[in-house]
């Protein structure tokens, strides 16, 4: 069967047919793909369900890969995602999708096979941005971290006791890797192009705290410096890194943590609004085509998606957040098999967590929009605080270091566009919290090492954007 193009067609029973014996194809068999599949079944979809994923493993969880897996407390092959329910799907694992024919509604697979669909979900996520110099990237001892296999290989090398680990990029991922290295007792150098770690995601004030945290844990932290080259020995093993300040480091292990690249190449030429910034979709997770028109049979969820959000000026947001992938997958799945009036918008408030150097960092909202920062509770010096970001007189984001419990409150402040600076009296208000300071984000036109939230303007397609890969 085939639901009418334009999909809604609710009055004529086509939606009922779709729900009963339609064909739904999900490309990207990871967190978003799996949760969407489960939600489809939960919503009563009984048709055929195909999951296409280029990784050979069944869906697994990534956050532990830079934490417990590197420490060796959890094996890389033990982070398989728990299943919420049986999904009765056809799994095409180890198979990449290589193309999409929107008009004929077919996904092309590597090898040439074509899979027809009535509804398609794109959940291909992102991959680690590689070291820009291919020959250097190929040196033995140069790693990136995105997949379970990456983590297993890196773990083996860490366990073998390298002389020194070089982490290129001080974003969340780089900082977590450095933290794991220190916990393993390994000497580690972090090289960050910005003035401090985490500046791209949380700004300079918080970045300064992150810098002190790293140094207090014995990290050799070098900021405002870039890695300009990686040098191998005759056998092709990494032995040295060159920095922009003219110094060199003897290292046998380097982890490139320069952010992510969206997996959209397979959509090139398909006519979808897909590009380096992701696949644009509306709040109902329906993909835009290149003309900026919304499709009704192609949906998007997870790290690869970019969606306008009313709370953040309708700017398109890309979120590399676990919680977002789950929430967006659920909304997309619901909308795929629901009539127009029952569809829901994905209005998730961005929320992110990271564990590093014994501190539990969480954020809500979009810190990168913040102009000013107020330490509303606790103190920077104690590294236990709640920072609130203001944008044009309202609360736009919050970050906590070891103060997770208050985040709910600030999330509601963001949702209700509460005024900034917040005037209210709270527990644990310190002298720090009497007036806001500039949040001190680096110039947003500079590419960063990969904050996990990216604002990408107002155009759904953004084909014209010139992309500058971040360099170490």
Partner 1 sequence: MTHGTFLRKITDYAHRADPYPLYAELRKTPVLRDDIGPYLVSTYWEIHGLLHDPRLSSDPRNLDPEAAGLVVAEEEDDPSLPPSFLRLDPPEHDRLRRMAMYPFGPPHTPRRIHDMRGELARIVTGLVDGFEGRDQIDLVDDFAYPFPVTVICRLLGVPRADEPLFHAWADTIVSSADPDPDADAAERRGAVRRARTELAMYMSELIEERRRAPGEDMLSSLVHGDGPDGRMAHSELVSTAALLLIAGHETTVNLITNGMLTLLRHPDVLKRLHDDPRLAVPLVEEVLRYEPPVQLLPQRTPLTDIDIAGVTIPKGASVWLILASGNRDPRRFPDPDRFDPDRRDNQHLGFGSGIHICFGAPLARLEAQLALAELARRLENPRLLEDPPPYRRNAVLRGPRHLPIGFDGVRAGREP
Ligand X SMILES: Cc1cc2nc3c(=O)[nH]c(=O)nc-3n(C[C@H](O)[C@H](O)[C@H](O)COP(=O)(O)OP(=O)(O)OC[C@H]3O[C@@H](n4cnc5c(N)ncnc54)[C@H](O)[C@@H]3O)c2cc1C
Site membership for ligand X, residue 170 (CB under 6 A): no
> Which contiguous run of DSSP H or E holds residue 260?
strand 260-262
Contact 364, 70 (CB under 8 A): no
Site membership for partner 1, residue 88 (CB under 8 A): no
Site membership for partner 1, residue 358 (CB under 8 A): yes
Site membership for partner 1, residue 438 (CB under 8 A): no
Between CA 264 and CA 343 the distance in angstroms is: 26
Q: What is the CA radius of gyration of the chain?
A: 23
Site membership for partner 1, residue 43 (CB under 8 A): no
Contact 398, 407 (CB under 8 A): yes
Q: Which stretch binds partner 1 (CB under 8 A): 113-121, 283-291, 300-308, 376-384?
A: 376-384
Q: Which of 164, 144, 166 is nearest to 153 (CA)?
A: 144
Between CA 387 and CA 104 the distance in angstroms is: 51
Minimum separation from the CB atom of position 360 to partner 1 (A): 10
Residues 46-65 that bind ligand X (CB under 6 A): 52-55, 62-63, 65
Site membership for partner 1, residue 405 (CB under 8 A): yes
Contact residues for 313 (Cβ-Cβ < 8 A; gap 6+): none
Q: Which of 8, 438, 466 is nearest to 206 (CA)?
A: 438
Residues 269-308 that bind ligand X (CB under 6 A): 302-303
Could you tell me the two tokens for 471? 């360099």
Between CA 304 and CA 301 the distance in angstroms is: 7
Q: Which stretch binds partner 1 (CB under 8 A): 14-22, 50-58, 325-333, 401-409?
A: 401-409
Minimum separation from the CB atom of position 59 to ligand X (A): 8
Could you tell me the two tokens for 12? 């004529």
Minimum separation from the CB atom of position 457 to ligand X (A): 21
When binding is defined by CB under 8 A, the residue of 30, 50, 318, 386 that contacts partner 1 is 386
Contact residues for 18 (Cβ-Cβ < 8 A; gap 6+): 1, 3, 7, 47, 118, 119, 337
Q: Which stretch binds ligand X (CB under 6 A): 159-167, 230-238, 277-285, 322-330?
A: 322-330
For residue 100, give the 3-state DSSP assignment. strand
Q: Which stretch binds partner 1 (CB under 8 A): 143-151, 299-307, 311-319, 422-430?
A: 422-430
b/e burial code for range 61-93 (CB count within 10 A of at least 16 → b): bbebbbbbbbbeebebeebeeeeeeebebebbe
Site membership for ligand X, residue 320 (CB under 6 A): yes
For residue 411, give the 3-state DSSP assignment. helix
Between CA 136 and CA 397 the distance in angstroms is: 39
Residue placing its CB nearer to ligand X in the complex, 19 or 262: 262
Q: Which stretch binds ligand X (CB under 6 A): 208-216, 334-342, 350-358, 410-418?
A: 350-358
When binding is defined by CB under 6 A, the residue of 24, 25, 27, 209 that contacts ligand X is 27
2 binds, among ligand X, partner 1, none (CB under 5 to 8 A by kind): none
Site membership for ligand X, residue 321 (CB under 6 A): yes
Site membership for partner 1, residue 328 (CB under 8 A): no
Site membership for partner 1, residue 427 (CB under 8 A): yes
409 binds, among partner 1, ligand X, none (CB under 5 to 8 A by kind): partner 1
Contact 181, 160 (CB under 8 A): no
Q: For binding to ligand X (CB under 6 A), which residues are involved?
A: 27-33, 52-55, 62-63, 65-66, 96-97, 123-126, 145-146, 173, 263, 266, 302-303, 320-323, 325, 352-354
Please report, as ranges, the residues that interact with partner 1 according to CB under 8 A: 358, 376-378, 382, 384, 386, 405-409, 412, 424-428
């Amino acid at each position: 069967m085939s639901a009418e193009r334009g999909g809604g067609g609710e009055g004529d029973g086509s939606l009922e047919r779709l729900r009963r014996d339609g064909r739904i194809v999900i490309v990207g068999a990871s967190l978003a793909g799996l949760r969407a599949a489960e939600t489809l079944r939960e919503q009563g979809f009984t048709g055929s369900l195909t999951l296409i994923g280029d990784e050979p493993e069944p869906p697994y969880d990534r956050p532990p890969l830079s934490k417990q897996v590197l420490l060796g407390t959890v094996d890389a092959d033990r982070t398989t995602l728990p299943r919420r329910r049986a999904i009765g799907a056809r799994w095409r694992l180890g198979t990449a999708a290589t193309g999409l024919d929107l008009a004929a509604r077919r996904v092309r697979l590597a090898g040439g096979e074509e899979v027809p669909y009535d509804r398609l979900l794109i959940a291909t996520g992102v991959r680690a941005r590689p070291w820009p110099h291919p020959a250097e990237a190929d040196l033995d001892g140069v790693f990136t971290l995105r997949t379970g296999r990456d983590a297993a290989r890196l773990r083996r090398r860490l366990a073998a006791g390298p002389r020194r680990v070089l982490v290129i990029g001080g974003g969340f991922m780089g900082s977590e890797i450095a933290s794991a290295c220190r916990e393993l007792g390994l000497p580690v150098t972090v090289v960050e192009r910005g003035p401090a770690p985490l500046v791209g995601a949380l700004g300079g004030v918080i970045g300064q705290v992150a810098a002190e945290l790293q140094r207090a844990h014995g990290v050799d932290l070098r900021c405002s410096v870039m890695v300009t080259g990686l040098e191998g020995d005759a056998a092709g093993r990494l032995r040295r890194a060159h920095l922009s300040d003219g110094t060199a480091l003897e290292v046998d292990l380097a982890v490139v943590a320069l952010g992510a690249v969206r997996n959209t190449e397979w959509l090139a030429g398909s006519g979808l609004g897909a590009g380096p910034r992701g696949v644009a979709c509306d709040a109902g997770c329906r993909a835009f085509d290149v003309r900026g028109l919304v499709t009704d049979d192609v949906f998007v969820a997870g790290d690869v998606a970019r969606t306008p959000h009313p709370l953040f000026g309708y700017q398109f947001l890309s979120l590399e957040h676990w919680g977002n992938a789950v929430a967006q997958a659920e909304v997309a799945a619901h909308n795929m098999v629901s009539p127009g009036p029952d569809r829901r918008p994905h209005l998730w408030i961005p929320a992110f967590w990271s564990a590093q150097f014994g501190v539990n960092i969480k954020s809500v909202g979009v810190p990168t929009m913040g102009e000013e920062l107020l330490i509303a509770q606790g103190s920077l010096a104690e590294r236990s605080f709640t920072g609130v970001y203001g944008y044009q007189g309202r609360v736009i984001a919050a970050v906590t270091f070891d103060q997770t419990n208050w985040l709910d409150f600030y999330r509601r402040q963001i949702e209700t566009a509460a005024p900034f600076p917040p005037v209210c009296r709270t527990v644990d208000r310190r002298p720090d919290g009497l007036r806001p300071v500039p949040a001190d984000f680096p110039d947003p036109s500079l590419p960063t090492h990969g904050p996990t939230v990216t604002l990408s303007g107002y155009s759904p397609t953004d084909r014209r954007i010139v992309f500058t890969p971040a360099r170490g």
